[in-house]
Chains A and B, each alone.
Chain A
Amino acid sequence: MAEYTLDCLYEACPIPLLKALKQLNKMNIGDILIMHTDHNCSIIHVVEWTKKEGHYIDYIEIAEGEWEIYIEKAK
């Protein structure tokens, strides 16, 4: 049940999603990935994609235009 963090600040679309994808493939079921991003496309993009994949996901805004996305690998 490890926790990973992923720094996606200042990355252009679609790099945050690709980074998350790569990291998720390396993780075990039950591990949590914390993404830090300032790209508001990620909020829609990553969230929609992760839900489609069936993982648990939620996010909060931690500063003006900065978000943390939490993904728990479910399968």
Chain B
Amino acid sequence: MSSSRIEELKRQRQAKVTKRGSQSPYAIVVTVVVSTIYLVLIKHNIYLSTFWIIGILIGITLQRSRFCFAASFRDPIMVGNSSLFKTIILSFIISTIAFFMIQYRTAVINPDYLLTDIPGQLKPVGLHTALGAILFGGGMVVAGGCASGTLVRIGEGYIMQVVVLVGFIIGTVMGAMHFPFWDSILISKAPTIYIPKYLGFFPALIFQLILLGILYLVAHWYDKKNNIMTMQEE
């Protein structure tokens, strides 16, 4: 949506912009380097080569889509915009179905499966989960990005995010150092809850999908209902 005055300003400004050179040579050089590393890794370590390609694909997706975990949880509260939050819910729905397929295999092969047999990150849940979430959430909003967002922006050339990365590394190292403490007072006492163990695999899948669907609808309603201007008029 544009107005005639904006069009006029744009036209004036455009005339002053010097034409930029093509970036294609850089793209070709980077593609060659990436492919070379991939081919070298295939010869030496098939796992590393797979990780390399998956990492590159995730990086491209994150950069091009401007997918930002920090913004997805911050914007609904700050500006009443939940479009990124809805994206997160959608990706949860997709990964729920995909993880169901992966984990269901384990249960079919061995009906008396242990929680440690299940692929994925099954961890104890408790007070430490909430504490960690508050620390991480507060930090990512102040820093202007979560882990992936920070890395993407460093790649784009934001110097400020390098400072964030340094802080991130310091925090991670300190967290690892203090882990035995948290483990002894909270984590080791907390239960690991795996819903399929209680409900069975299919009911758990349906239950989680319904829950995510409700969350999506709530986010959609919230987006329609809320924005800063209407809040100020009221």
Binds A, one of B63-71, B128-136, B211-219: B63-71
Per-residue interface assignment for chain A, residues 12 to 41, with 1 indicating a CB less than 8 Å from any chain B CB and 0 otherwise: 111101000100010000001010000011
Residue B17 CB within 8 A of the other chain: yes
Q: Is the CB of A10 within 8 A of B160?
A: yes
Residue A48 CB within 8 A of the other chain: yes
Contacts of B145 in A (CB 8 A): 12-13
Q: Is the CB of A56 within 8 A of B81?
A: no
Known A-B contacts A48-B81, A57-B2; the reply to A13 vs B70 at CB < 8 A is: yes
Residue B227 CB within 8 A of the other chain: yes
Q: Is the CB of B14 within 8 A of A57?
A: no
Interface centre among B3, B78, B143, B156 (most CB of A within 10 A): B3
Residue B86 CB within 8 A of the other chain: no
Q: Is the CB of B9 within 8 A of A34?
A: yes
The total of chain A residues at the interface (CB under 8 A) is 32
A49 CB contact (under 8 Å) in B3, B10, B13, B81: B81
Interface centre among B7, B74, B79, B81 (most CB of A within 10 A): B79
A8 CB, nearest partner CB in chain B, Å = 13
Q: Is the CB of A41 within 8 A of B71?
A: yes
Contacts of A49 in B (CB 8 A): 79, 81, 227
Interface residues of B (CB under 8 A from A): 1-3, 5-7, 9-10, 13-14, 17, 20, 66, 68, 70-71, 74-75, 78-79, 81, 83, 143-145, 156-157, 160, 227-229, 232
* Given pairs A13-B70, A58-B2, A60-B17, 12 additional interface contacts (CB within 8 A): A12-B143, A13-B71, A14-B75, A15-B144, A21-B79, A21-B228, A32-B6, A49-B227, A52-B81, A52-B227, A61-B17, A70-B6
A sample of 9 cross-chain residue pairs with beta-carbon separation below 8 angstroms, ordered by A number, consists of A14-B71, A14-B78, A32-B5, A48-B83, A52-B81, A56-B6, A61-B17, A70-B9, A70-B10
